[in-house]
Amino acid sequence: MSTPTWIDTRGAGIPPALRDRIRQAIQDVQACPDVQAVPPAEIPEDTTMAAGQAGAEDPRVLADAALDRLGRVLASSGDRGSALDLLAADALLTHACAVAARAGPEELAGFAESLLARIAGVVPEAGGARGNGPATAEDG
């Protein structure tokens, strides 16, 4: 698959290790379509390829790659080694929203709503397995 053009054209300030991690995240999703956290049908179809480009510029591919990396971070021990995956997830989600926004405000709103649902499916409830969520009255 092709290298994402946004990394090459706007990524001059991105550290090489992070640029490589972003590329790898996209390639992983493109090579293994079942990595997707939620079926693409839940993302508005008219959001797809809003920029008129295929593959890595599809906001669904970017979101899938981001959520895959976020899942890896959450499954990790939380050490510094997962920092690049977290930064890659952030960059990929940000760019997915930027690509979706090119289709218009309504499309962006629908895409963002679907992302929230997808993120909720990846991120455990606050205070989950590691118990590092905010304290609540139930914590006693």
* Amino acid of residue 49: M
Measured between alpha carbons, how far is residue 41 from residues 37, 48, 71, 134 in Å?
12, 11, 21, 33
| CA separation for the pair 39, 59 (Å, rounded) | 13
Domain range list for the chain: 36-123
Please report, in tens digits, the pLDDT of each residue of the chain (140 residues total). 455 566 777 677 889 999 999 999 998 988 876 655 444 434 445 444 433 344 557 898 899 999 999 999 999 988 888 999 999 999 999 999 998 999 899 989 999 999 998 888 888 764 444 444 444 444 44
Contact 59, 96 (CB under 8 A): yes
Contact 115, 93 (CB under 8 A): yes
Structure tokens at 125: 């409830």
| CA separation for the pair 126, 39 (Å, rounded) | 24
